[in-house]
Amino acid sequence: MHVREVSLRTGTRRITDVTAHCAQLAREIGGDGLLHVFLPHATAGLALLEVGAGSDDDLAAHLDVLLPRDERWVHRHGSPGHGADHVLPAVISPSLVLAVEDGRVVLGTWQHVVVVDANADNPVRTLRLSLLPG
């Protein structure tokens, strides 16, 4: 298995495209296999999403509808509404498994791998990529 950890600075961006990091590891290793993408954090997740055409903005805006940033949450440390951040990984998984064929990550035409992170209290994230050759 080939493992790489990437440090990301998400800051106040809710959606961060990490497709290039996935593609780079697949290209370097070559061949076929499975790529496990993991975000080892309690307040962020990963998704497959079209970016740049408004879907990323829609997701970011609707996170506030689905998980409002107010004082309703039992988990209350950090910034207002931080409890919502801890619920996010139950809705948007912190891991994905992607096929790799001939050194390329298999994605649909408009699909990108993105980090979904509404937690501005923790602006630095670690992305863990594990490629298991076939």
45 strand-pairing partners: 116
C-alpha 59 chain-centroid distance: 13
* Percent of the chain residues topping a pLDDT of 90: 76
Residues 68-92: pLDDT tens digits? 988 888 987 878 888 999 999 999 9
Structural domain count, the chain:
1
Q: How confident is the model at residue 129 (pLDDT cuts 50, 70, 90)?
A: very high
pLDDT reading at 48 higher than 80: yes
CATH number of domain containing 29: 2.60.120.460
Q: What is the pLDDT of residues 54-66, one digit of tens each?
A: 999 999 899 989 9
Domain limits for position 111 = 2-133
Tell whether the model's pLDDT for residue 97 goes beyond 90. Answer: yes
Other Cβ atoms within 10 Å of 125 Cβ, number? 20
